[in-house]
Amino acid sequence: MIVLDHVNKVYDDGFHALKDINLEFKKGEITVLIGPSGCGKSTTMKLINALNTPSSGKVLIDGKDISGLNPVELRRNIGYVIQSVGLFPHMNIAKNVAVVPHLKKWDKEKTDRKVNELLDLVGLDHTIYRNRYPSELSGGQQQRVGVIRALAADQDIILMDEPFSALDPISREQLQDELIRLQQELNKTIIFVTHDMDEAIKIADTIVLMKDGQIVQTGKPEAILRHPANDFVRNFIGQKRLQSENELSYEIPLVDDVMITNPVTAFPNRGLAEAIKMMESKRVDSLFIVDRNKQLQGAVSIYRVLDMYGEEGKTVADVMIPVRFSVSSGSTLPQAIELMDSHQLSNVPVVDGNNRFLGLVTRGSVVKHLAEVYPNLAPPQPAGEGEPM
């Protein structure tokens, strides 16, 4: 466990960067420091590996005041990842990963084994990537190497200062997922700095929200989302998530919000072979038949088409069955669900007043919608739990 005890940091130019910080970073947890630019996140993080020394107060690791330790030695026992990655351009990937084991004078065999294991762990085949140079890797791959470099000497504590912020959204999500997966295997004490609340919520066990060198709120992501300590936190969380505050006033979703707006349709004059082809390529098991005015005519399932397949010359209009159930635009989702439930339907079409086909509510689309608005629909939390700390 890492403890910051009444830490103040005043830089040489007189700037009071940290004001009486008291924090606990729990063992085996990911603690995310978040806050606006310049609020002191990096300053706080660098206290832990003695890149910064407190002007007053103490930093304790497992109860030991680190001011008594040799800083170079201390840093070798703490993994460190920074935004700009900082891979050494003149060393190949294997050497880059092996930097700290090398500093700690591990023997070659043990180091090699570790390097290969870590490369494979983040999906970089060691037979290919060991001998590459950093400039021969994509940004995301470099960042992966940056992360495993901080794990190579089996450090228990890893500091990560905005490690993913320079990446495109897709690589960033991938690396977040990988970090979560790695953490489940490795159980490190990770301190992670970010600007991005989505990232924080995704990976944090505990979030520490900072502003102007002070801690505004500390807690589990859930607790911070539900009970923001003040307007600053509320703002920082963002308007979209904020609605969870007034749980009761959430709006009942309409089928129009939930439906798939581009279901697979076919004109009545299509042949059966064409219909099979369409279902195959769109990966669906049924087609809705609409005419040129988007009037819903009926539906065919793959089974029905296969049944009638022998009769060449038939069109889907000949084999379709009428649609018995539909909901009109503006109905609520519960109405649609009720209908699907009582008639064992896997989907229900949404039509407008003129019976024009607008979209399709499927089980999948319902689940997807619920996932998106989950905070809005979450039941109120019993009092007592998740209070701001």
Partner 1 sequence: MNEFWSFITERYPDILLALRQHLTISFSAVILGTIVAVPIGILLVYNRVGWINSVVFFIANLFQTIPSLALLAILIPLLGIGVKPAILALLLYSLMPILRNTYDGFQSVDKGVLNSAKGMGYSAAQTILKIQLPLSLPYIMSGIRITTVYIISWATLASLIGAGGLGQLIVSGLGVNKPEMIFIGGIGAVVLALVADGLLGLLEGWLTRRYRQTRSAAV
Ligand X SMILES: Nc1ncnc2c1ncn2[C@@H]1O[C@H](COP(=O)(O)OP(=O)(O)OP(=O)(O)O)[C@@H](O)[C@H]1O
**Beta 327-328 vs 347-351: how paired, if at all?**
parallel
- Beginning with the edge strand found earlier in the chain, give each strand of the sheet holding 2-10 in spatial order: 16-25, 2-10, 56-61, 64-65
The window from 10-18, 115-123, 343-351, 365-373 that contacts ligand X (CB under 6 A) reads: 10-18
Cβ proximity to partner 1: between 133 and 267 the closer is 133
User: CB of residue 161 vs ligand X: minimum separation in angstroms?
Assistant: 7
The listed partner (ligand X, partner 1, Mg ion, none) that binds 142, CB under 5 to 8 Å by sort, is: partner 1
Could you say which of 2, 4, 17, 279 contacts ligand X (CB under 6 A)?
A: 17
Read off φ and ψ for residue 338, nearest 5 degrees: -55, -50
Distance CA 104, CA 250 (A): 57
Interface positions, 187-206, toward ligand X (CB under 6 A): 195
Query: Minimum Å distance from CB 39 to ligand X?
Result: 4
Of the listed pieces 34-42, 57-65, 279-287, 373-381, which binds ligand X according to CB under 6 A?
34-42
**Dihedral in degrees, nearest 10, Cα atoms 93, 99, 100, 104:** 130
Pick the binder of ligand X from 40, 101, 163, 219 (CB under 6 A).
40
- Residue 2 binding partner per list ligand X, partner 1, Mg ion, none, with a CB distance cut-off of 5 to 8 Å that depends on partner kind: none
Residues that bind partner 1 (CB under 8 A): 49, 51, 72-77, 80, 82-90, 99-100, 103, 133-135, 138-140, 142-143, 146, 149-150, 159, 166-168
The token pair that represents 238 in the structure block: 């963002």
Sequence-separated (6 or more) residues with CB below 8 Å from residue 210 = 33, 34, 35, 39, 40, 41, 44, 216
**DSSP string covering 257-302, please?**
HHSBSS--EE-TT-BHHHHHHHHHHHT-SEEEEE-TT-BEEEEEEH
- Of 74, 77, 75, nearest to 153 by C-alpha is 77
**C-alpha–C-alpha distance, residues 214 and 182, integer Å:** 31
Per CB under 5 A, does 217 bind Mg ion? no
52 binds Mg ion (CB under 5 A): no
> Exposure of 342 by Cβ count < 10 A (0-12 exposed, 13-18 middle, 19+ buried)?
exposed
Is 123 a binding residue for ligand X by CB under 6 A? The answer is no
Inter-residue contact 20 to 6 (CB < 8 Å): yes
Q: What are phi and psi of 216, to 5 degrees?
A: -95, -45
Residue 43 contacts Mg ion per CB under 5 A = no
# chain residues binding Mg ion, by CB under 5 A: 1
Q: Which is nearer to partner 1, 150 or 333 (CB)?
A: 150
When asked if residue 374 is in the footprint of ligand X (CB under 6 A), the reply is: no
- Name the residue nearer to partner 1 (CB basis): 103 or 377: 103
Q: Which is nearer to ligand X, 30 or 361 (CB)?
A: 30
CB 32 within 8 A of CB 38: no
Beta carbon nearer to ligand X, 4 or 153: 4
The least distance separating partner 1 from the CB of residue 43, rounded to whole angstroms, comes to 14
Nearer to Mg ion, 46 or 102 (CB): 46
Task: Check residue 42 for interaction with Mg ion (CB under 5 A).
Answer: yes
Instruction: Write a three-state SS string for 217-238.
Output: EEECHHHHHHCCCCHHHHHHHC
Nearest CA to 273 out of 317, 319, 322, 312 is that of 312
Based on CB atoms, which residue is closest to partner 1, 133 or 309? 133
Residues near ligand X (CB under 6 A), total: 12
- Least distance (Å) between residue 181 CB and partner 1: 20
Among ligand X, partner 1, Mg ion, none, what binds residue 80 when CB lies within 5 to 8 Å by partner kind? partner 1
How many residues comprise the chain? 389
Residues of span 41-100 touching ligand X by CB under 6 A: 41-43
Binding site for Mg ion (CB under 5 A): 42
Binding site for ligand X (CB under 6 A): 11, 13, 15, 17, 37-43, 195
